[in-house]
Amino acid sequence: MKKIQMVDLGGQYEGIKEQVNSAIATIMETSAFINGPEVKSFQSELEAYLSVKHVIPCANGTDALQIAMMGLGLEPGDEVITADFTFAATVEVIALLQLTPVLVDVEPDTFNIDIAAVEKAITPKTKAIVPVHLFGQCANMDAIMQLAEQHNLYVIEDNAQAIGADYTFNNGKKQKAGTIGHVGATSFFPSKNLGAYGDGGAIFTNDDELAHTLRGIVNHGMYERYHHDVVGVNSRLDSIQAAVLRAKLPKLDQYCNRRRQAARSYNSAFREQANIITPRTTQCGEEICDTCTCHVFHQYTLRITNGKRDALVKHLAEKDIPCGVYYPIPLHKQKAYVDERYNEADFPVTNQLVKEVISLPMHTELDGEQIDFITKTVVDFVNG
C-alpha cells in the first residue's frame, strides 16, 4: 500500500507535469513574473468557469477577504457577523480593519453558520455577514441573502474551501459558490481543491464598480502607475502560481468528483456506526448521490461521539494515518478574540464540535486500499 498522506500533491502533479513545467519555463524565459499573460489568462478562464463577471487575483486568501471588506467601504466599529467554527483568517481580517467581529454558532450537521443565530445577532451597527462555506459546501445562501436584503447588509462569501461547489436555490437555480453574495473570496493555498504551488487567492464579484475599486486596492491603489487613487495594499498573484492554477482549473470538476467518490467510500464504511456521525450534504442528506455537486469535500470531517476523538487522533498517528482536527478551539475562546460580549450559552454546537470533529485524508489520489485501511482502523478503535 502507498504511504497515506493527508494531501498528495506530488501524485496530483504527475498528471499535469508537462503543462506546468512548460508554462514555468516560458515564464522564466520571458521574465513576466508579475501581472504577466498567465495571470490575465487565468483570470479570464476562472471568470468563465464560475460564470462571474469579475475575478480579481491576489496574493492569498486572507488578503482576498481583507480587500473585499476594504472595497465595500466598511468603517471602524461596523459589525460583521461570521461563524465561530472556522479558521481564524475570517475573523482576523475583521479585527485588522478595526471592524467589530460578531461570532455566532453553526449547524451541527453541515458545520455552516446558523441562520437563526445570524438573525438574532443583527443590530443597527451590523453592516455585513460573512458566511464561511466550510469543508466544501455552501451555507444557506437563500436565507442569508434574504436577511441581507431585509437589513441592507453586505454578504461576503468566504469560499476558501468550496471552490467548484454548486448552490441550488429554493427555486431550482444553480450558482457557483463564491458568486452569490456581493463579493466572494477564495484561497489557492496548495492543499485547496484548486491549489497553487505557493500562496494565492482571488476575489469574485458581478458588481462593475466594486470590481474597479478592488483592482486598484490589490495594486497599491493604482489604476495608473504612480497615481494612487485609493488606499491599497500590495497583493498580486504571481505568474508562476497562475500557470499552475491554469493547468489545474480544467481538471477541477474531475478533482472534486474524485473527492466525492472517496467520501462515498468513507460514508459506506461508517454507515450504521453508532459512535460516528458522517458529513451531511445540503443536497443529498447523509448520502452522496451520483449527481452531487453541492459538496466538494475539501475536508472529510467526522464526529466521534463517544469521547474517543483525542485518543483516535493518537491511534491514527501510531498507524501512520494522518488526520486533522479542524478546529480544536472556537474563535470566541481564542486569546486574540476573547470578548465579554460573548455568552457561552450561545455556542452549544461549536463547543461540542471542537470535542468531536476529526478530518481524515482527503485528496484526488486516494485509492480503495488506503480507504479500506483507514476506515477499518477508525471503526475498530472507536468501537473497541
User: What is the C-alpha to C-alpha distance for residues 129 and 293, in angstroms, rounded to an integer?
Assistant: 24
What is the phi-psi region of residue 98: left when phi exceeds 0, alpha when psi lies from -120 to 50, beta otherwise? Answer: left
Q: How confident is the model at residue 54 (pLDDT cuts 50, 70, 90)?
A: very high
pLDDT of residue 338: 96
Number of Cβ within 10 Å of residue 273's Cβ equals 17
Q: How confident is the model at residue 285 (pLDDT cuts 50, 70, 90)?
A: low
User: What is the C-alpha to C-alpha distance for residues 205 and 211, in angstroms, rounded to an integer?
Assistant: 6
pLDDT in tens, 313-357: 999 999 999 999 999 999 999 999 999 999 999 999 999 999 999
Residues above pLDDT 70, as percent of the chain? 99
Instruction: Give the phi and the psi of residue 207 in degrees, each rounded to 5.
Output: -95, 110
Is a pLDDT exceeding 80 seen at residue 120? yes
pLDDT in tens, 87-99: 999 999 999 999 9
DSSP annotation string for 115-158:
HHHHHHH--TTEEEEE-B-GGGB---HHHHHHHHHHHT-EEEEE
pLDDT of residue 241: 98
> What mean pLDDT comes out for the span 224-232?
94
Q: Take residue 173 and report the three cell numbers written for it.
A: 437555480
Residues contacting residue 201 through CB under 8 Å, at least 6 positions apart: 57, 58, 59, 60, 61, 62, 63, 64, 185, 186, 187, 188, 235, 237
Q: Take residue 276 and report the three cell numbers written for it.
A: 460516528
pLDDT of residue 89: 97
Report the residue count for the chain: 384
pTM above 0.85, yes or no: yes
pLDDT of residue 105: 98
Average per-residue pLDDT for the chain:
96
Residue 300: beta bridge partners? Answer: 360
pLDDT of residue 286: 67
Q: Is the peptide bond before 49 cis (omega within 30 degrees of 0)?
A: no
pLDDT in tens, 65-80: 999 999 999 999 999 9
Instruction: Give the phi and the psi of residue 278 in degrees, each rounded to 5.
Output: -85, 165
Report which of 281, 255, 264 is spatially closest to residue 139, judged by C-alpha positions: 281
